[in-house]
């Protein structure tokens, strides 16, 4: 009422840290669940698809791979669309794409049609929802943002626990075509979640001032994709570490069930491992978000993230020596805990590093880099398994990759950022994105002055 809608300049309006932000968080919870759980949930239809089209399991596995590749690889496209049109319209169109893909897939006559409809169209729709939901969460929360990120990230394990059994029920009663059709209708809820992402509203004086100053000075044209984030050493360190981490992060959940079956365990008993992992993950994410929001911890959130990655990698390495089912149960408990910590912190740390203004571009570029690793990691581990016929080497490789990522982000931040107090980045504690935004605006206003001059202004 009487306010100015602010979508492209979120730093002009203080994050409410509540209010309508809780509705935004609820929408983000659902979107995160669909985005991460859907590629795994469609795997319950693979046996029917193999029988229908006369293809192999590896052919059907490409459906999930294409979905994930679209989710990660279209990051820059999502950033451009969000910066051009705003989060709400992009998400609502994305919801239509996600639903349309599954509905068209229910009419497929070949596996290629499934690739195009479910993999490309639905994958694009989910991508157009996932990234804007994170951006809006960043705009609505500041002090409570670590907790908000943890709660939103918990949507992934919750949705996986719900969508997989639902898919089995739908397949049993309606077949894979009916199941795809109903799931397509379910994905229309993404449009409802997108409708919740209303832009922040500033005070009335902001609108009056904007009208009065419109003729006095021209605003610089907004960048649709801001590559200046690559000038930030914190972002470069994060992007490299995240890409290495993703190489091994998703490998254990893919292979742990097969590992248990090779030990001679029943299918149902082996599948129970993923349920245990997911159950621990549900509680680990919001708990870690709560811890990350503690006043003393938040400025050092990047090191907590590094510890979570290290914890995950060590868990993988130790699990490679498991010889029985109880050993794998213990592994799933600790992996679920560490995996949940990583999931709760990964985007919180990125938000803290780049700030609100550049987050949409930074997120898109990071997801693009991770997309390459996602396509290389699990297939590479599969090739290693084919060559050695030993799961120990698969888990060892995954663990070493994740541990390396932990070392990169920890040592990179400690050596390249913390020890240089005379440079702008030193003033940017990971828990204070507002200070980073002030510094960035000063740097832009000075128009090319030396960094030391900017630091003197900050001091």
Q: How much of the chain exceeds pLDDT 70, in percent?
A: 82
Higher per-residue pLDDT: 263 or 196: 196
The per-residue pLDDT for 99 is 93
Tens digits of per-residue pLDDT, 431-450? 444 444 444 444 444 444 44
The per-residue pLDDT for 427 is 38
Q: How far apart are CA 246 and CA 70, in angstroms?
A: 15
Choosing among 3.30.70.1060, 1.20.1250.20, 3.90.650.10, 3.30.565.10, the CATH entry for 15-199 is: 1.20.1250.20
Model confidence band, residue 57 (pLDDT cutoffs 50, 70, 90): low
* Of 5-14, 202-211, 319-328, the least confident: 5-14
The per-residue pLDDT for 203 is 62
**Closest by Cα among 234, 197, 329, 319 to 276:** 329
Model confidence band, residue 265 (pLDDT cutoffs 50, 70, 90): confident
Higher per-residue pLDDT: 204 or 377: 377
| CB-based contacts of 339, cutoff 8 Å, min separation 6 | 249, 253, 277, 281, 284, 312
CATH 1.20.1250.20 residue spans of the chain: 15-199, 225-419
Share the mean pLDDT of the chain.
78
For the entire predicted model, the pTM comes to 0.72
**Closest by Cα among 162, 155, 118 to 133:** 155
Distances in Å between the Cα of 43 and the Cα atoms of 100, 142, 146, 267, 346 are 19, 37, 32, 15, 26
Q: Are 297 and 304 in contact (CB under 8 A)?
A: yes
The per-residue pLDDT for 58 is 67
Q: How far apart are CA 165 and CA 385, in angstroms?
A: 29
* Of 4-18, 42-56, 94-108, 125-139, the least confident: 4-18
Q: How far apart are CA 140 and CA 17, in angstroms?
A: 6
The per-residue pLDDT for 208 is 55
Q: Where are the beta strands (DSSP E) in 51-94?
A: none
The per-residue pLDDT for 207 is 54
* Dihedral class, residue 64 (left if φ above 0, else alpha if ψ from -120 to 50, else beta): alpha
Model confidence band, residue 204 (pLDDT cutoffs 50, 70, 90): low
CATH number of 225-419: 1.20.1250.20
Higher per-residue pLDDT: 108 or 209: 108
Q: Which two tokens stand for residue 437?
A: 């935004």
Q: How far apart are CA 90 and CA 81, in angstroms?
A: 7
- Phi, psi for residue 432 in degrees, rounded to 5: -130, 70
Number of Cβ within 10 Å of residue 65's Cβ equals 18
107 DSSP assignment: T
**Closest by Cα among 233, 345, 351 to 297:** 345
The per-residue pLDDT for 422 is 41
The per-residue pLDDT for 205 is 55
The per-residue pLDDT for 126 is 92
Q: Is 438 exposed, middle or buried (0-12, 13-18, 19+ CB in 10 A)?
A: middle
Number of Cβ within 10 Å of residue 168's Cβ equals 14
Model confidence at 214: pLDDT above 60 = no
Q: Are 150 and 285 in contact (CB under 8 A)?
A: yes
Model confidence at 67: pLDDT above 70 = yes
- Phi, psi for residue 201 in degrees, rounded to 5: -110, 125
Model confidence band, residue 218 (pLDDT cutoffs 50, 70, 90): low
> Whole-angstrom distance between the N-terminal and C-terminal Cα of the chain?
39
Tens digits of per-residue pLDDT, 393-418? 888 888 999 999 999 988 888 877 64
Q: Which two tokens stand for residue 125?
A: 């729709």
Q: How far apart are CA 44 and CA 65, in angstroms?
A: 15
Q: Determine the average pLDDT of the residues in 30-47.
A: 83
* Of 87-101, 139-153, 199-213, the least confident: 199-213
């Amino acid at each position: 009422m009487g306010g100015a809608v602010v979508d492209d300049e979120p730093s002009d309006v203080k994050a409410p840290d509540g209010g309508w932000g809780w509705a935004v968080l609820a929408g983000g919870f659902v979107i995160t669940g669909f985005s991460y759980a859907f590629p795994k949930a469609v795997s319950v239809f693979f046996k029917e698809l193999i029988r229908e089209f006369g293809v192999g399991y590896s052919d059907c596995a490409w459906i999930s791979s294409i979905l994930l590749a679209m989710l990660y690889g279209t990051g820059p496209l999502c950033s451009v669309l969000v910066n051009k049109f705003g989060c709400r319209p992009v998400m609502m169109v994305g919801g239509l794409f996600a639903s349309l893909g599954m509905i068209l897939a229910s009419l497929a006559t070949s596996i290629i049609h499934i690739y195009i409809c479910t993999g490309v169209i639905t994958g694009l729709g989910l991508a157009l929802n996932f990234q804007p939901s994170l951006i809006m969460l960043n705009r609505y929360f500041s002090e409570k943002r670590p907790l908000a990120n943890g709660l939103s990230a918990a949507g992934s394990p919750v949705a996986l626990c719900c969508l997989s059994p639902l898919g089995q029920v739908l397949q049993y009663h309606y077949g894979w075509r009916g199941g795809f059709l109903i799931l397509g209708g379910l994905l229309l809820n993404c449009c409802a979640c997108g409708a919740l992402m209303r832009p922040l509203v500033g005070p009335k004086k902001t609108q009056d001032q904007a009208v009065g100053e419109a003729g006095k000075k021209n605003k610089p044209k907004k960048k649709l994709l801001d590559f200046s984030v690559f000038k930030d050493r914190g972002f470069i360190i994060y992007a490299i570490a995240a890409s290495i981490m993703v190489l091994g992060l998703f490998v254990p959940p893919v292979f742990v069930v097969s590992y248990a079956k090779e030990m001679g365990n029943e299918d149902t008993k082996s599948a129970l491992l993923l349920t245990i992992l997911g159950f621990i993950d549900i509680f680990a994410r919001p708990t870690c978000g709560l811890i990350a929001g503690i006043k003393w911890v938040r400025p050092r959130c990047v090191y907590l993230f590094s510890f979570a990655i290290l914890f995950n990698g060590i868990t993988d390495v130790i699990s490679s020596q498991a010889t029985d089912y109880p050993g794998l149960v213990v592994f799933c408990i600790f992996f679920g805990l560490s995996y949940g910590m990583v999931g709760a912190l990964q985007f919180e740390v990125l938000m803290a590093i780049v700030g609100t203004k550049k987050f949409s571009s930074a997120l898109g570029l990071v997801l693009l880099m991770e997309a390459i690793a996602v396509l290389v990691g699990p297939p590479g581990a599969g090739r290693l398994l084919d060559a050695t016929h030993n799961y120990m080497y698969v888990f060892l490789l995954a663990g070493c990759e994740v541990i390396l990522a932990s070392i990169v982000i920890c040592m990179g931040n400690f050596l390249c950022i913390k020890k240089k107090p005379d440079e702008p980045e030193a003033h940017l504690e990971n828990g204070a994105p507002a200070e980073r935004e002030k510094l960035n605006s000063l740097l832009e206003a000075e128009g090319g002055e030396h960094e030391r001059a900017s630091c003197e202004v900050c001091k």
